[in-house]
A and B are shown apart, each in its own frame.
Chain A
Amino acid sequence: MTLAFSQSARQRFDEIVARYPNRQAALLPVLHLAQQEFDHISPEVMQFVAEQLGVPPVKVQHVATFYTMYNKKPVGRFHVQVCTNIACHLTGGPEIFAHLKKKLGVANKGTTADDLFTLEEVECLAACGYSPAIQITDKKDRETPIFFRENLDSLPKVDALIDELRAKAKGGA
């Protein structure tokens, strides 16, 4: 299959490339764009990005695998990121993470069978004043890709959040 950017992504691509004196400098933002367009960064997507920027594919692969935010395989619609670093470590992050592993029936970085949730233990989310913090991205809502649920200080609140997302998906939203 030959990959191609949509018209709006093509426009965004041109805007991004114009910001830098050379094309390789656009690699990180263009990989973000490609991930939005093609769901995840497969070897084909790396090849495509390499061609678009005139950068050797091996360099694209090096960058795509160095940074944690580029998904090399598909993730669920909701990417549930649970912080367990120091402030969250002290206020219940590890307990929430363990609870979610059980509730969703997945290991770290695992995706539920219905492709709805991917669970990941992440490093500090710069939300320590509201710890324990969870950040969730929704593939179908790119305009507001994040909803931060702060002060998730009890497991029932976490359960309610997951149920709410399930209901949202079921309702076709």
Chain B
Amino acid sequence: MKTDVKILTAHLDDPAWHTLAGYERHGGYNALRKALKMTPDEIKAEVKAANLRGRGGAGFPAGIKWGFLPKETTKPIYLVINADEGEPGTFKDRLIMERNPHSLIEGCLIACWALRANTTYIYIRGELFSSIQRIERAIAEARAKGYIGKNVLGTGWTCEIHAHPGAGAYICGEETALIESLEGKAGQPRNKPPFPAIQGLFDCPTIVNNVETIAYVPWIIENGGQTFASFGTERNGGLKIYGLSGHVKRPGLWELPMGTTFSYLVNELGGGMRGAKPMKGLIPGGSSCPPLLPNELDTPMDFDAVKKVGTMLGTGCATVFEEGVCTVRLGARIAKFYEHESCGQCTPCREGTGWLHRNIEKLERGERLEGGIQLLDSICGRILGNTICALGDAAAMPIQGFLKKFGDEWQRHIDLGRCPL
């Protein structure tokens, strides 16, 4: 369904929207008041009806994830917000945290009420200083006004929200590494099961959700899950913040119905290419996603449709590159990133990401590659699926994608003994 509705970006023209007064001026915290009169099951039903899929990249339905908590437990339940935005090419959660932080705070409160949790930790990437400041200020304002604390809006219900800074480690975007990090340890992912919903933070039942996912919850409660769902496609409800960067005329962020096409984002909103060179390819949603070719841009940007064309929607922040860009050089940069960020726990990832990076660099320099470009594909195959977490997959999938889409260019590096560009 086409819609002009904006939710998380509706009042960006108000420079005070990030303050409590600004947020309340536009109806902020009315959804919390409504939610506190609803039962947890009623709230969960709305979120389920909204078809709200996880906005961190995996696209897992939030309502179903919430249902994984144990029915009976004597332990505290925790809500953890993954604000460790670090997938290269991604810059959407920062917008929410810096320009509309109270939507996240209100969403946390409603989610805690629904999950019977009393504590939220917002794990914010350490490098995002301004996001940390804005969230800390928003928490303080909301606490002073009685939205957070021992007696939320006079109901007798206790809910605490804390900001927790990361310290520079991409792996902490993986939910179990994030939990380890929150516990004051190195961010090394845990084996699953047990899943966090059963045994997560401090060994207690824990729900980990992305910033954007939870920030949509207040609107869903106020306006109904079905209304939200109707904006999107069949199994991908609502709106989503999409990003665009690279060689386009107007890079930026736009909140659009799920299922909008890449070509609309790039050509209508982004103004097409920045110069005379045509597009060579597009990385759909962060560096772990295999690239798309210009003739694939009619693909709708929802989790299922993008999967059908062999890649992932990821975070929905696309990076465009023009003709003249060497995809081997770009691939080498991506491989370097994953080598740097591998936590070192699993051998296939620790050794494989470095092996991959070194050989792609060799290719770019025109050095002899024993085994040819098949060697690269074979290294990817040895990493894929053989590690505790998805970082290994995230390193292998884009390289396999580049080999599939730009294999001729990679082979020409070998044939010429140099970069042809």
Contact = CB atoms under 8 A, between A and B. Distances in A.
Interface of A: 19, 21-22, 24-29, 31-32, 53, 55, 59, 62-63, 66-70, 81, 84-87, 89-91, 122-131, 135, 137, 145-146, 148
Given A19-B162, A91-B246, A63 B184 contact: yes
A89 B246 CA distance: 9
Contact of B184 (A28, A69, A122): A28
Given A53-B184, A87-B89, A128-B90, 19 more contacts: A28-B164, A28-B167, A29-B164, A32-B167, A68-B169, A69-B127, A69-B167, A86-B89, A86-B283, A86-B330, A87-B251, A89-B333, A90-B246, A124-B86, A124-B89, A126-B127, A129-B253, A137-B129, A148-B130
Nearest to B329: A89
A146 B129 contact: yes
Given A86-B88, A123-B170, A63 B251 contact: no
A21 B183 CA distance: 10
A86 B287 contact: yes
Which residue, B130, B246, B325, has most C-beta atoms of chain A within 10 A? B246
A86 B319 contact: yes
Interface in B196-227: 202
B28 interface: no
Nearest to B184: A27
Contact of B88 (A31, A53, A69, A124): A124
B127 A135 contact: yes
Contacts of B243: 128-129
B88 A85 contact: yes
Contacts of A137: 129
Interface string B159-188: 010101111111000000000011111110
A66 B165 contact: no
B337 A123 contact: yes
Given A28-B181, A68-B169, A85-B287, A126 B162 contact: no
Nearest to A137: B129
B91 A90 contact: no
A131 B167 CA distance: 22
Contacts of A128: 88-91, 243, 245-246, 251, 317, 319
Contacts of B91: 126-129
Contacts of B253: 129
A89 B27 CA distance: 41
A166 B86 CA distance: 31
Interface of B: 85-91, 93-94, 125-130, 160, 162, 164-170, 181-187, 202, 243-247, 251-253, 283, 287, 317, 319, 321, 325, 330, 333-334, 337, 340-341, 343
Contacts of A123: 86, 88, 170, 337, 340-341
Contacts of A129: 91, 243-245, 251-253
Contacts, number: 143
Closest 10 CB pairs of A and B: A27-B184, A68-B168, A67-B167, A128-B245, A69-B168, A66-B186, A87-B245, A124-B88, A24-B184, A85-B88
Contact of A130 (B90, B251, B343): B251
Given A29-B164, A55-B184, A87-B246, A124 B90 contact: yes
Contacts of A55: 184
Given A29-B164, A68-B169, A126 B333 contact: no
B258 to A, nearest CB: 20
A145 B131 CA distance: 12
